[in-house]
Structure 1
Amino acid sequence: MALLATVSEYQSILLMVGGQPIQIALEPPLAEQVVDFTGGAASTQNPFNDATSIIRIKVNAPCSLQVATAPSPTTSMQPMGTSDIEFKGVAVGQRLKVGFVSNTNYA
């Protein structure tokens, strides 16, 4: 089975009538990338869009991740479990990527 992570990039959150923010990313995403980390650590091919401020991460296997300009994730970094979904805020315009590595210690 391929070890995959899907990363969706968003610019902003949804505003309700009256201008109150709610914790929902505004669709459609600016970009989506799939990362295959079956063979070891791997990261998104492209840096995040300059307007990206929120990323959504979905994985199909236990892993650890790192968000950085040149990610080099290890199993001691942020863990995610099988089928987890996480939203993370990222600094805009920083040319960030997200990297993944399998982490069988976290299931």
Structure 2
Amino acid sequence: MVERLVETSNPKVIAELETKIAKLDEDKLRMSEKITQNSKPKASMGQIFELLRELLSNPWNIHDKGPLEVKKTILKTAFKAPLAYDRQNGFRNPQVSVIF
């Protein structure tokens, strides 16, 4: 765009290209601000480590007291595959993850 701006002698075209360049600069600034805002961690490393230590020491307490998203995450972590269920026999032997 800058090359076109240099080559052009029409004032209307120059003004239009300058507004486009200004808009692109604003968009670039706005996106860089979003990136810096989203790159901040939601929790400190100490909080994450403490939660992980508590989970690995007793996953049932967190599963029992935590929200639904935490329960689903624990189940995905604890088992390699979805739990198999048979109508006559109930749940089959689960494939337990290496962590537990």
Shorter-chain TM-score tier: under 0.3
Greater Rg over alpha carbons, structure: 2
- Structure with the bigger percentage of helix: 2
- Structure with the bigger percentage of strand: 1
RCO greater where, 1 or 2, for CA within 8 Å and sep 6 or more?
1
Q: Structure 2 length normalisation: TM-score?
A: 0.24
Q: Structure 1 length normalisation: TM-score?
A: 0.23
